[in-house]
Chain A
Amino acid sequence: MTSATLRHSVWILRGNPLTAVAATGVLLFVLVAIFGPWIVPYDPVASNVSEALLPPSAAHIAGTDQLGRDVFSRLIIAARLDLAIAVSAVGISFAIGAVVGSFCGYAGGRLDRGVGRFVDVMMAFPLFVLAMAMVAALGNRIENIVIATAIINLPFYIRFARAEVNVRRNVGWVEAARACGESHFSVVLRFLLPNILPAMAVQISLNLGWAILNAAGLSFIGLGVKPPTPEWGIMVAEGARFISTGRWWLVAFPGLALMMAVLCFNLLGDGMRDILDPRMRT
Chain B
Amino acid sequence: MSEALLSIDDLHVAFSTRRGMVEAVRGVTLTVEKGEMLGLVGESGSGKSVTGFATTRLLDAAGRVTGGKILFRGQDVTKLRGDDLRQLQGAAMSMIFQNPRAALNPIRAIGLQIADAILTHKRISKEAARGEALDLLRAVQIREPEARMNAYPHELSGGMCQRVMIAIAISCNPALLIADEPTTGLDVTTQKVVMDLLADIAAARGMATILITHDLGLAARYCRRIAVMERGRIVEEASPRSLFSAPQHAYTRRLVAASPTATSRIEDLVTEEDRERYATVVSKPRAELVHGTPPLLEVRKLAKRFDQGSAAVADFSMTMAGGESVGLVGESGSGKSTTSRMICRLIDPSEGDIVFDGHSIGYVASRDFHRSRLRKDIQMVFQDPNESLNPRFTAFDCIAHPLLRLGGMRAGEALRERVEECAVRVGLPLDLLPRFPHQLSGGQKARVGIARAIACRPRLLVLDEPTAALDVSVQAVVLQLLDRLRRENDIALLFVSHDLNVVRMLCDRTIVLRNGGIVEQGESRALFDNPKTDYTRKLVEAIPHIETGEMLAAAL
With known contacts A175-B380, A176-B380, A181–B405 Cβ distance under 8 A: yes
| Bound CA–CA A254/B17 (angstroms) | 43
Contact A179 B439 (CB under 8 A): no
With known contacts A11-B18, A172-B384, A184-B367, A179–B390 Cβ distance under 8 A: no
B residues 437-467 touching A (CB-CB < 8 Å): 438-439, 449, 452-453
| Bound CA–CA A182/B389 (angstroms) | 15
| Bound CA–CA A11/B402 (angstroms) | 37
| Bound CA–CA A171/B17 (angstroms) | 28
- Chain A 170-214 near chain B by CB (<8 Å), digits 1 or 0: 011101111111111000000100110000000000000000000
Contact A182 B449 (CB under 8 A): no
Tell me, yes or no, whether B535 is within 8 Å of chain A by CB.
Answer: no
Among A171, A181, A183, A184, the most chain B Cβ lie within 10 Å of the Cβ of: A181
Contact A282 B405 (CB under 8 A): no
* Interface contact tally, CB-CB below 8 A: 72
Q: How far is the CB of A184 from chain B (nearest CB, A)?
A: 6
Contact B367 A176 (CB under 8 A): no
| Bound CA–CA A182/B17 (angstroms) | 39
Chain B residue total in the interface (Cβ 8 A)? 34
Tell me, yes or no, whether B265 is within 8 Å of chain A by CB.
Answer: no
Tell me, yes or no, whether A8 is within 8 Å of chain B by CB.
Answer: yes
Tell me, yes or no, whether B344 is within 8 Å of chain A by CB.
Answer: yes
Contact B62 A282 (CB under 8 A): yes
Tell me, yes or no, whether B375 is within 8 Å of chain A by CB.
Answer: yes
- Chain B 4-41 near chain A by CB (<8 Å), digits 1 or 0: 00000000000101100000000000000000000000
Residue of chain B at shortest CB distance from A278 = B438
Contact B452 A176 (CB under 8 A): yes
Contact A173 B370 (CB under 8 A): no
Q: Which residues of B have CB within 8 Å of A184?
A: 367
Which of B379, B392, B436 has a CB less than 8 Å from the CB of A194?
Answer: B392
Contact A173 B390 (CB under 8 A): yes
Residue of chain A at shortest CB distance from B453 = A179
Q: Which residues of B have CB within 8 Å of A58?
A: none
| Bound CA–CA A71/B133 (angstroms) | 72
Contact A282 B392 (CB under 8 A): no
Contact A179 B346 (CB under 8 A): yes
Q: Which residues of A have CB within 8 Å of B384?
A: 172
A residues 1-51 touching B (CB-CB < 8 Å): 2, 4, 7-8, 11
Q: Which residues of B have CB within 8 Å of A179?
A: 344, 346, 375, 378-380, 402, 453
- Chain B 351-372 near chain A by CB (<8 Å), digits 1 or 0: 0000000000000000100110
Residue of chain B at shortest CB distance from A180 = B402
| Bound CA–CA A268/B251 (angstroms) | 48
With known contacts A2-B436, A176-B452, A181–B387 Cβ distance under 8 A: no
Q: Which residues of B have CB within 8 Å of A173?
A: 382, 387-391
With known contacts A172-B387, A175-B380, A181-B402, A282–B17 Cβ distance under 8 A: yes
Tell me, yes or no, whether B514 is within 8 Å of chain A by CB.
Answer: no
Tell me, yes or no, whether B376 is within 8 Å of chain A by CB.
Answer: yes
Among B370, B371, B380, B406, the most chain A Cβ lie within 10 Å of the Cβ of: B370
Tell me, yes or no, whether B401 is within 8 Å of chain A by CB.
Answer: yes
Contact B390 A8 (CB under 8 A): no
Tell me, yes or no, whether B383 is within 8 Å of chain A by CB.
Answer: yes
| Bound CA–CA A2/B439 (angstroms) | 11
Residue of chain B at shortest CB distance from A181 = B405
| Bound CA–CA A185/B382 (angstroms) | 21
Contact B405 A180 (CB under 8 A): yes
- Chain B 395-407 near chain A by CB (<8 Å), digits 1 or 0: 0000001100110
Q: Which residues of B have CB within 8 Å of A195?
A: 390-392
Q: Which residues of B have CB within 8 Å of A194?
A: 392
Contact B62 A180 (CB under 8 A): no
| Bound CA–CA A194/B18 (angstroms) | 27
With known contacts A182-B370, A282-B62, A4–B380 Cβ distance under 8 A: no
Which of B18, B405, B449 has a CB less than 8 Å from the CB of A8?
Answer: B18
User: B residues bordering A, Cβ < 8 Å?
Assistant: 15, 17-18, 62, 341, 344, 346, 367, 370-371, 375-376, 378-380, 382-384, 387-392, 401-402, 405-406, 436, 438-439, 449, 452-453
Given A7-B18, A282-B18, 5 additional A-B pairs, CB 8 A: A178-B346, A179-B346, A179-B453, A195-B390, A282-B17
* Closest 7 A/B residue pairs (Cβ): A172-B388, A172-B382, A11-B18, A181-B405, A180-B402, A172-B387, A181-B406
- Show 25 residue pairs from A and B whose CB-CB distance is below 8 angstroms, ordered by the A residue: A4-B439, A7-B18, A8-B18, A11-B18, A171-B388, A175-B341, A175-B380, A175-B388, A176-B382, A176-B388, A176-B389, A176-B390, A177-B401, A178-B370, A179-B346, A179-B378, A179-B380, A179-B453, A180-B402, A181-B402, A182-B370, A183-B371, A184-B367, A195-B390, A282-B17
